[in-house]
Amino acid sequence: MRMYDALILVIISGAVTAFLRFIPFIAFSKKTPAFILYLGRVLPYSVMAMLVVYCLRNTGAYFLPEALSCLLVIILHVWKRNTLLSITAGTALYMFMIQCA
Amino acid sequence: MRTDKVIHAFRDSLPVMTGYAVLGLGFGVLMASKGYDVFLVLSESILIYSGTMQFVLADMLSGNVTLSACALTALMVSARHVFYGVSMVERYRDIHGLKKFYVIFALTDETYSLVCESNDADYCFLVSIFNHSYWITGTVAGSLIGQVLKFDSRGIDFSLTALFVSICVEQWLNADTHIPALTGLTASVLCLLIFGPDNFLIPAMIAVTCLLFAFRGKIENENV
């Protein structure tokens, strides 16, 4: 695909993504309705759980590396509460398992 | 802006730096392997600034995709951003002008995960800028070294999963009620099983919203 065509696709995807990011702020620019205030309080919890499922959506029958690495992240995080440590250790374990399998 | 605020925002953004370094390098290397130059990677990372969207677009660039198909795919892939906006409308109310425009534009999965519980406008702005700079640097670096260096990076994308899992744990330990987290988890898993990996996100978003309203009384009782 030529550079010019590629750039047009970049601009379209960028515009659509930005549009979706802006909609709520445009729709509720005056005063935030009570139900949006409520969603604003509870959605962060639901959305992060949804994102985890989203990240793991293509995990098939060989789910052991994902399962064990997630477990390590959970245990480490409950124990040390250090995000960098949890991520680094979890990713290292995962890479080790899938590259040596 | 006070220095300790900058340091605080920077320290919090470090996990995203790791995640973006890894994912950005991966994306840059992928684009290099498809023969796209660094200019295209740079404009994508500045204008789109969404890892998922950019990976999907990399696929579309290789095929013959129509403009409307591209727009429709973008709409499906990025729909979850509406959710982030909805939960930030009130928190971003005190930010104005260009700053506001920027923090809305830069609301990615990872930035959302850091700002979603903050009410500090400066903090949110700083985190957004830091994260965007990591993404641009990572993808450009990946594109440049993509041709030169070959290394086994399989599995490195798990860093994003790990980031989200650790945030979930942190939220769980701090939450008054676990209903919202459990709702998100259960609805997403069920929708994944019913609709499959490519189509579950939008049904899941609808289901989560409906369930959160159904449980509203119970949640607000526990949430004191």
Of A8, A18, A40, the CB nearest to B105: A18
- Please give the angle made by the CA atoms of B102, B129 and B84, to the nearest 5 degrees: 55
Distance from CA of B122 to the nearest CA of A (A): 18
ipTM comes to 0.87
Contact B99, B222 (CB under 8 A): no
Residues from chain A that touch B15, judged by Cβ atoms under 8 A, are 83-84, 87
pTM above 0.90, yes or no: no
List CB contacts (< 8 A) between A23 and chain B: 82, 85
CB atoms within 10 A of CB B18: 21
Taking CB atoms and an 8 Å cut-off, how many pairs form between chains A and B? 256
Kindly report, residue by residue over B97-136, the tens digit of the pLDDT.
999 999 999 999 889 989 987 889 999 999 999 999 999 9
Nearest CA in chain B to A35: B213
Integer Cα distance of A94 and A69 in angstroms? 6
What is the number of alpha carbons within 13 Å of residue B43 lying toward its C-beta?
Answer: 17
Nearest C-alpha neighbor of B26 from the set B43, B39, B11, B41? B41
- Out of A75-84, B156-165, B182-191, B208-217, least confident range: B156-165
Q: Do B188 and A87 touch (CB under 8 A)?
A: no
- Which 3 state secondary structure label does DSSP give B81? helix
Q: With contacts defined as CB-CB under 8 Å, which chain A residues touch B62?
A: 1
Contact B48/A12 with Cβ under 8 angstroms? Answer: no
